[in-house]
Chain A
Amino acid sequence: MGKYMARRLFQSVLLFLVFITITWFLLYALPGDIVTQKFRTNPNIPPEAAETAIRRLGLDRPILEQFWTYVTGFFRGDFGVSFNQYPRPVTEIIAERLPRTIVLFLTAIVTYYWAGFIAGKYLAWRRGKRGEMAITVGGVGLLTVFYPWFALMAIWLLSAQLGLLPISKFLDPTEWRNAPFSANEVFMRLFWTVAITSALLFSVQYAANKIRDAAPARAIRLGGTVLVIVGFVFYWWGAGGVEIRPFAGDIAEHLVLPVLVLTLVNFAGIMLLTRSSMLETMREDFILTARAKGLPEKAVRDRHAARTALLPVTTSLVLAVATVIDGGIITEFVFSWPGMGEILISSVTSEDIPLAVTAFSFIGVMALVGHFVVDMLYGVLDPRIRVSSSQ
């Protein structure tokens, strides 16, 4: 597994270098002399200041040198300086935007994968029974709906009409006027909460599945889950989280609608995929073996059919990463969520090249990290990959 991981990591870095090279040259080769347009002929900047800026930005250096400076800087966490928000470093802008995007999409992906997998599992198991048709048709309907329209309708219904949820944006500015925290700090806390809670819940399940006896396994599953929830409550209501909680609550409230909409339009895909994967697995000989061994139906379903049907579903996580990138732009736009997608559009249209290159690079990084995580997960779930690649 270690060797496999190292090899995949190496491949990812290599792929990233190719990606960043192409992106950089494509953007710097945008039509028109950007340096002249943005600085020399810009009526708002005095000529001396323009020359200073050009020198400070390194724009007078040969193109290859500029590229080299950017790439080496990238790995040190220095992404250059924004053209439009000069002299603000790009690093600062990204550090502000990235957590917002990650929190939104990580929450959405975890939610809709979980919901889709559970729904698909039952759908396959109860095949031909009542309700299957309705759920399948409803799922396909949600899957094929025109997403921006659906998102707007959800905003209209839940926020504008019923007033249940905030309309858009990621926080309520009036509440934040004298906030002792920056939105970014809160986002980072939220991010770690989501990540740690998911990891703990996953570990509890994993540990419980390793226990041979049903009773202690159930005790561990229940006890572990309760413990994680208690820890969560204790942190936010008791320990370090008290001060920050109202602000986190505000952001969380703004998160509900986009996560809900993303879940509704995406979970059906996972559900149908799980369903067909389950149905295929249920025809396998080893399911017959499991039954012949006298296993209870629930064990056949969960331990044998669902566990194995999980493999193709995991593969599809790679596609989910892609959805974050293309759907992300639309989502952030519709919900006025100022994340990476918004930067991507505005930096390209306003020709803020350093910012645009960095935004694209981070999308690349997100895709590669997502891919890497999925590969590792797959390795954990499928011994055929884990074992053969460690030899």
Chain B
Amino acid sequence: MSRPLLEVDHLVMNYTTEKGDVSAIQDVSFTLNEGESLGLVGESGCGKTSIAMSLLRLVAENARFDSGEIRLDGTDLLSLTDEEMRQRRWNDISMVFQGAMNAWNPVYKVGDQIREAMDLHFHPRLSNAEVEARISKLFELVGLNPAMMNRYPHEFSGGMRQRAIIAMALSCDPKIIIADEPTTALDVIVQDQILQELKKIQADLGMSIIYISHDIAVIAEVTDKIGVMYAGKLVELGSTREVFARPRHPYAFLLLSSTPSVTGPRRKLAPLEGEPPDLLNPPTGCRFHPRCPYATDQCATDEPPMEDAGDGHQVACWNWKEVPELGGLTK
């Protein structure tokens, strides 16, 4: 169950631009085990999508991997040829894109677009009837009427399109599904339904999922582990329960304390002040230091390494021991 399936190892990625390098992924490491679900959270522009795209090696043309590895079952994806990588896409890792509303080509039937992926990756090739049977099954799994496979994308509502995308992501039995803000464009009720269904599907089929969101509350319910990102860096990584109950990194702490909790104890809202940093010129030392209430002189010059804070809960902060318990804020 807990064999490491995906290992991201000290990954560094920059976007080359006219104004200089944008440091979108800075020394990020995490592992994802078989059947596990990991959430990546952080504010807009912190590099979540960049990580997702790196896993498929579908980054923008100006992206440059400077160091690190992305190992899937022990093979470094960054060292594969384009053709080898192409054959792994969707077969090993599939993706539900951010803003997946427009992820369908308007001129082809939804079923045909799913079949397109299966024709590429399914060995041995399935007959027409088998493909149809499989798509029907997948549609039922995600709560769609199988007859819809013969319809065009514009005949689907937003939620239905998203469900169909999930069906397509499942179509080739991938080892990992990446869901980048899978429900942001949907209303809250549909959002919750889809996340719950994804969770159920994952439990039934046993693949691993990486959820990406800027809203920690949305994915907390469906993930085993959570990684908190700030300005291109992973600053905290631990089991969802741990991170929620006792965030160690000042940024995670402020993020959680500004998330109103319905079920937990009443929390005083501590605002997160200042602007997210410009990744063209990221702050030296700890990238959070200009906004951090716990910052010391060391923070401005030295980059804090990832440290174990007990029980595999990792944090990159010089002063994590100073961060109070969440409950400590309630007076």
The residues of A with any CB-CB pair to B shorter than 8 Å are 212-213, 284-286, 288-296, 304, 307-308, 311, 381-384, 387-388
User: A286–B104 contact, CB under 8 A?
Assistant: yes
Distance of B93 from chain A, by nearest CB (Å) = 9
Assess the A285–B89 pair: CB atoms within 8 A. no
Cβ of B104 and Cβ of A382 under 8 Å apart? no
How near does chain B come to A252, taking the closest CB pair, in angstroms? 36
A384→B152 contact, CB < 8 A: yes
Looking at the assembled complex, report how far the CB atom of B171 sits from the nearest CB atom of chain A, in whole angstroms: 9
* Closest Cβ–Cβ distance, residue B61 to chain A (whole Å): 9
With A and B bound together, what is the CA distance between A212 and B88 in angstroms? 20
| Interface residue from A212, A290, A296, A383 paired with B106 (Cβ < 8 Å) | A383
| A291 CA to B87 CA, complexed, in Å | 11
Chain B nearest Cβ from A111, distance in angstroms: 25
How many residues of B are counted as interface, with CB atoms below 8 angstroms from the partner's CB atoms?
Answer: 31
Tell me the dominant secondary structure on chain A's binding face: helix
Nearest CB of B to A238, in Å? 40
Chain A: which residue is nearest B61 at the CB level? A128
Name the residue in A294, A304, A387 with the highest tally of chain B Cβ atoms < 10 Å from its Cβ.
A294
Bound complex: CA of A296 vs CA of B89, how far in Å?
A: 11
Closest to B56 in A: A292
Residue B154 at the A interface, CB < 8 A?
A: yes
Residue contact A284 to B90, C-beta cutoff 8 Å: no
Interface residues as binary, B95-139 with A (CB distance below 8 Å gives 1, 0 otherwise):
101011111111101000001110111000000000000000000
Of A289, A294, A296, A308, which contacts B103 at CB under 8 A?
A289
Considering the complex, give the chain A residue whose CB is closest to the CB of B98.
A285
Contact of A294 among B88, B102, B115, B168 (CB under 8 A): B88
In the assembled complex, which residues on chain A have CB atoms less than 8 Å from the CB atom of B117? 293-294
Please pick, from B90, B100, B101, B154, the residue contacting A293 in the complex, using a CB distance under 8 A.
B90
6 closest A-B pairs by CB: A294-B89, A285-B102, A286-B105, A293-B117, A383-B152, A289-B103
Specify the chain A residue showing the minimal Cβ separation from B102: A285
Contacts of A383 in B (CB 8 A): 106-107, 109, 152, 154
Pick from B58, B91, B106, B121: contact of A288, CB below 8 A: B58
A291, B106: Cα distance in complex, Å:
16
Closest residue on chain A to residue B86 by CB atoms: A294
Cα distance A290–B90 in the bound complex, in angstroms:
10
Decide: B116 and A387 in contact? CB cutoff 8 A. no
Contact B120 A294 (CB under 8 A): yes
Most buried by B among A212, A293, A307, A381: A293
Report how far A213 CA is from B106 CA in the complex, Å: 22
